[in-house]
A and B are shown apart, each in its own frame.
Chain A
Amino acid sequence: MSISEATAKEHANDPAVLCCRAEEGTVLTSHNLEDPAIFDDLVDSGLLNLDGCLKIGQVIGAALKKTCDSLTPLTVDTIDQIQETQDNSNDSIPSSAASDSANLTAPIKNGTLKISIGQGTDIHIELPLGSISSDAEPETKLLRCLTRNHYKITEVKRGPKTMIDGTTLTIREGIEADAIASQELVHDLKIDIITPDMYHTYSETILDVQPIATKEGHDLVGTGTTRVLDGVVMMVTGTDDNGVQIGEFGSSEGYLDENIMWGRPGAPDQGEIFIKTQVTIKAGTNMERPGPLAAHAATDIITEEIRQALKKVADDALIVDTQTFEQYRRPGKKKVVVVKEIMGQGAMHDNLLLPLEPVGILGAKPNVDLGNVPVMVSPLEVLDGCIHALTCIGPASKEMSRHYFREPLVLETLFDPELDLCGVLLVGSPQINAEKFYVSRRVGMTCEAMEVDGAFVTTEGFGNNHIDFASHIEQIGMRDIAVVGLSFCAKQGALVVGNKYMTHMVDNNKSEGGIENEVLANNTLCHEDAIRAIAMLKAQMSGSSVKPAERKWNPDIKKNNIELISNVTGKPIVPVENETSLPMSQKRKEKYS
């Protein structure tokens, strides 16, 4: 099919191929040329060979030397003369003093005067003295602080009362009965305390990994002081009465040490003790909304009792580490937003937002019930556990509650003095396409209203959520806002749709094979991905171009980009380990042999 003049201009540097038969002497226009978007498939299937093919910009206006059939690549032998191409970058060279002055008024935004001169001579710039003063740089403004006090736990045991004594956490005997009684759908609950020497233990599918943290006094999530236990995490696992895994799909049941990618933001760290609940829910409710929620709620009875014990710790000498997170407004810097797409298709594709306690349940609203519409939260609320994740699939790419507590992209952006992170926009991923576009249009409108310079759009896992992920990027990009997308893609999570704004993408994959490999949190967003995304967004906001991605997944692109960033910043980036660092089970041997 022929292309329009505008498309031809856009693809001036892409190969020129005839769309239909053209007679000798025909003066070529865009109507004689095929859309370059289809060439990759034709080349892959051997129907087209682009060796020696001229570019579209080189053939428009030239005459054909001989009659050619459709899908003939145009070469120097087929046209009379190569046309001179115009370098797009030269188009914007101001040719008169008048356009110079116009350029000076336009780019002043957020207190920044930006003058771009590609090439030129005799340039005279006059500025009124009053317009730029020495104190033009607006001051950064501290919006809020969050302090995390860490208490170390080295031993977890059972006893008559839930309490923290020094570095020992005691969990009340019989607390299981209270947890079971709290939920009608929960028929049984067992607590296993997994110490590092017991990592080679069989476990049901891990639904969630949660930090144990509580607010001091009346502090709200996202501000004030949070007490958090180090060295111990909550782990929710479970099945229904028939032994069917809750969530059922992409199960990570098996030996813990072979199924957990240690040290990922959402996963446990090596050496930590797990308080693992094994919840049994009513048969057949494992795929209904109340089922997984009941498993989480029953576990939270135990966590809540630990939180109450943590609140009672009076000895400040037990604080082993204090972290302070400060959220600044940085006027004059590039204003950016992190759009986090979270699951909202129903049942285990849900998240509880803004509980009263970090990663708690009380006070939280499921984003499915909120209609999956965008909810703006502060970066500090994210880092203080404002998301209680109910997601169950797939193990390697799902973002669990702990992931948000240690969200790498939020952390990297928050601490970047060149960026003004204005907030984190949480948007659910509904099931039906019409609803997906409904919420993504709200995302676009919110970004427009905030007047951001750039946006990150992240998603977890893969599937139909990639439809709204693409739509979010489109809605933001069409408003001339720089946008970078982050997702697990590689081979198995390849995007199902795309659009012309999806030019700056970061793949979260870490697995060797580019697949969902059932290793918990293996393919989730890590600091190295956040650093790449920030570099990409900065490049886009400053007008630099990013090379188009290759047609097929190529892990070397990530390696090269990491190297390039390290070279520029002088800070080496050591990529995280992947599943090959784990004990090699027969399962993985087969996958990678």
Chain B
Amino acid sequence: MKYGDKIIYMEGIIVEVSDGAVGIDLKGRLGYLKIPMRMLITDYEIKVGQEVGFNMSFIEQLSADVNEIYVINQIKGKEK
């Protein structure tokens, strides 16, 4: 990672809640995250519309290579 220590404070909005996961829209239309319940730290009952905050960095490519295993998994998933 070349820029791994560039930590930025981010905020998002909970837009989807299921029994095992939450969906979060990053503010400013910067993307969408879906994370398992256990990766979210909560002091209150989770509700759609609540705001969340976290630190993240920029996402970097690790190499130019394509990992065929993941490509196969994608194709298998779409076949269904």
Contact = CB atoms under 8 A, between A and B. Distances in A.
Given A432-B44, A432-B45, A586-B67, A463 B78 contact: no
B23 to A, nearest CB: 10
B31 to A, nearest CB: 17
Interface residues of B, number: 31
Contacts of B30: none
Interface string B15-49: 00011110000000000001111111111111000
A345 interface: yes
A585 B21 contact: no
A178 B69 CA distance: 34
Nearest to B62: A590
A241 B76 CA distance: 13
Interface in A336-373: 343, 345-349
Interface stretch (A189-197, A214-222, A248-256, A302-310): A248-256
Given A202-B76, A432-B45, A463 B39 contact: yes
A464 interface: yes
B76 to A, nearest CB: 6
B41 A393 contact: no
Interface in A62-97: none
A287 to B, nearest CB: 4
Contact of B65 (A288, A393, A590): A590
B20 A433 contact: no
Given A258-B69, A432-B45, A590-B67, A464 B21 contact: no
B43 A434 contact: yes
A134 interface: no
B20 A288 contact: yes
Contact of B80 (A243, A349, A429): A243
A431 interface: yes
Given A202-B72, A243-B78, A429 B38 contact: yes
Interface string A363-386: 000000000000000000000000
A253 B73 contact: yes
Contacts of B65: 586, 590
Given A347-B19, A590-B65, A432 B77 contact: no
Nearest to B34: A248
A245 B73 CA distance: 11
Contact of B20 (A345, A463, A586): A345
Contact of B36 (A241, A242, A249, A429): A249
Given A258-B69, A345-B37, A347-B37, A287 B18 contact: yes
B37 A346 contact: yes
Interface in A534-593: 585-587, 590
A348 B68 contact: no
B43 A431 contact: no
Contacts of B63: 590
B38 A463 contact: yes
Contact of A464 (B18, B20, B38, B44): B38
Interface residues of A, number: 43
A104 to B, nearest CB: 49
A242 B69 CA distance: 20
A145 interface: no
A496 B41 contact: yes
A241 B77 CA distance: 11
Contacts of B36: 248-250, 349, 393, 463
A346 B43 contact: no
Contacts of A202: 72, 76
Nearest to A292: B20
A253 B79 CA distance: 14
Contacts of B78: 243
A247 interface: yes
B68 to A, nearest CB: 6
Contacts of B20: 247-248, 287-289, 292, 345-349, 392
A234 B80 CA distance: 24
Contacts of B3: none
A114 B46 CA distance: 52
B38 A586 contact: no
Nearest to B38: A463
B17 to A, nearest CB: 10
B43 A349 contact: no
A544 to B, nearest CB: 35
Contact of B38 (A241, A245, A343): A343
A359 to B, nearest CB: 21
B38 A349 contact: yes
Given A434-B43, A590-B63, A590-B65, A349 B37 contact: yes
Given A243-B78, A287-B21, A431-B46, A249 B73 contact: no
Interface string A243-270: 1110111110111001000000000000
B9 interface: no
A430 to B, nearest CB: 10
Contacts of B45: 432
Given A347-B37, A432-B44, A287 B19 contact: yes
Nearest to B78: A243
Contacts of B21: 248-249, 287, 347
A440 interface: no
Q: Which of B19, B20, B34, B46 has the most CB of A within 10 A?
A: B20
Given A431-B37, A463-B38, 8 more contacts: A247-B20, A248-B36, A253-B76, A288-B18, A288-B20, A292-B20, A586-B69, A587-B67
Interface of B: 18-21, 34-46, 62-63, 65, 67-70, 72-73, 76-80
Interface of A: 202, 239, 241-245, 247-251, 253-255, 258, 287-289, 292, 343, 345-349, 392-393, 429, 431-434, 461, 463-465, 467, 496, 585-587, 590
22 contacts: A242-B80, A243-B78, A243-B79, A248-B20, A248-B34, A251-B73, A253-B73, A289-B19, A346-B37, A347-B18, A347-B21, A349-B37, A429-B38, A432-B42, A433-B41, A464-B37, A464-B40, A467-B41, A586-B67, A587-B70, A590-B65, A590-B67
The 8 closest A-B pairs by CB, nearest first: A347-B20, A243-B80, A463-B38, A347-B19, A287-B18, A345-B37, A346-B19, A289-B19
